[in-house]
Amino acid sequence: MIAQNLLKIKEKLPSGVRLAAVSKFHPVERLQEAYAVGQRIFAESRPQELAAKVPQMPSDVEWHFIGHLQTNKLKLVLPYAALVQSVDSLHLLEAIQTWAAANRKCVPVLLEVHISSDATKQGFDAGEVRSILQRTGDFPDVRFCGLMGMATLTDDETVIRSDFARLSALFSEIRSTRPELADFRELSIGMSDDWPLALEAGSTMVRIGTAIFGPREY
């Protein structure tokens, strides 16, 4: 079933749009099923779970971290993550820079933007994103690769489209006004319930878990 779900989704993705299989709370055996039919990007949201799964999967897996990352857990994530999608505060960004410099590693990140009407969600506003990208020189060991966001959890597609449109507009603005940010190419929007709408808004990466693996195993 995992293979069928995965292939069905991939058939609908435009060329150039990548799929991050959200594998949090699922056992390694399910990840291996997805790997067997060609999936290589897996996304985790808990540092301990990511660190535990890495040695159990093939070395060519591209691991993404998509959860709220506490600064005291960097050592469980940054050695393994090809992309930290969920940089949601200046404090975290500064801690990543400190870790990267100490470990002589460049860390690719996405800035998480708060586009949802849910006030409890993490992330920057548009002004904070612009401010950070005006001083990328303060973060020489961080590679800014784009933006990530989550739409409001609702069945109202008008609301979801509006959320995605705002983030897409910010992404396009940065791309056009900051051409020196050569790696700023990723717009990570769209999950199991709303990824077709995200594609309409120009998503370059969708993060899909339940529609591939089924309900989570807590």
- Greater model confidence, 150 or 117: 150
pLDDT at 116: 83
End-to-end CA distance of the chain: 20
Residue positions counted in the chain: 218
Strand (E) or helix (H) holding 145: strand 142-149
Query: Which residues share a beta bridge with 144?
Result: 109
pLDDT at 217: 62
pLDDT at 218: 53
- In degrees and rounded to multiples of 5, residue 86 shows phi and psi of -115, 45
Q: Which domains, ranges and CATH numbers included, belong to the chain?
A: 2-213 (3.20.20.10)
Which bin fits 174, alpha (ψ -120 to 50), beta or left (φ > 0)?
alpha
Strand (E) or helix (H) holding 129: helix 126-133
Q: Per-residue pLDDT tens for 73-87?
A: 999 999 999 999 999
* 105-111 mean pLDDT: 98
pLDDT at 117: 77
DSSP notation for 94-121: HHHHHHHHHHT--EEEEEEE--SS-TT-
Q: Per-residue pLDDT tens for 130-187?
A: 999 999 999 999 999 999 999 999 999 999 999 999 999 999 999 999 999 999 999 9
Q: Note the Cα 143 to chain centre separation in Å.
A: 14
Q: Give, in order, the Cα–Cα distances in Å from 206 to each of 18, 73, 75, 180.
A: 7, 25, 26, 25
Structure tokens at 112: 């998480």
For the cut 60, the answer to whether the pLDDT of residue 38 exceeds it is: yes
| Spatial CA neighbour of 94 closest among 124, 72, 71 | 71
* 93-103 mean pLDDT: 98
CA pair distance 7, 156, nearest whole angstrom: 27
pLDDT at 185: 98
Q: Tokens 């949201």 identify what position?
A: 45
